Amino acid sequence: MLLLFTGYNATVLAYGQTGSGKTYTMGGAYGISIDGIEEMTGIIPRVIRDLYAGMQERAEEFDFVVKISYLEVTTYKPWAPTGMGKRGTCPSPLEML
């Protein structure tokens, strides 16, 4: 996390067999994560929490721009969960390169 504040970008990728725990590892039990049960908190909520805490510590020195993307590919069909309509469908399909 500290390297993010020195200008590095970061990517996290979870890949594996169906049912192996990728979604849980990345997100945790989302509703429980908010309540602060650390053992149930996934990578994404932890990073967001730590990112904003670090930004708050440095707020008087710097202006921040945060850009975050989240993409999940299920059954080889890509979809973006925000603004793309019903889960599993895309108004305009994403192109896999």
pLDDT (tens digit per residue) in 66-95: 888 877 777 666 555 555 445 555 455 555
Model-level pTM?
0.64
Is pLDDT larger for residue 29 or for residue 79?
29
What's the pLDDT score for residue 42? 86
pLDDT (tens digit per residue) in 51-68: 999 999 999 999 988 888
Q: 68 near 56, Cβ under 8 Å?
A: no
Q: 54 near 44, Cβ under 8 Å?
A: no
Q: Does pLDDT of 20 surpass 80?
A: yes
What's the pLDDT score for residue 83? 52
What's the pLDDT score for residue 4? 79
- CA pair distance 1, 81, nearest whole angstrom: 25
- CA pair distance 84, 92, nearest whole angstrom: 9
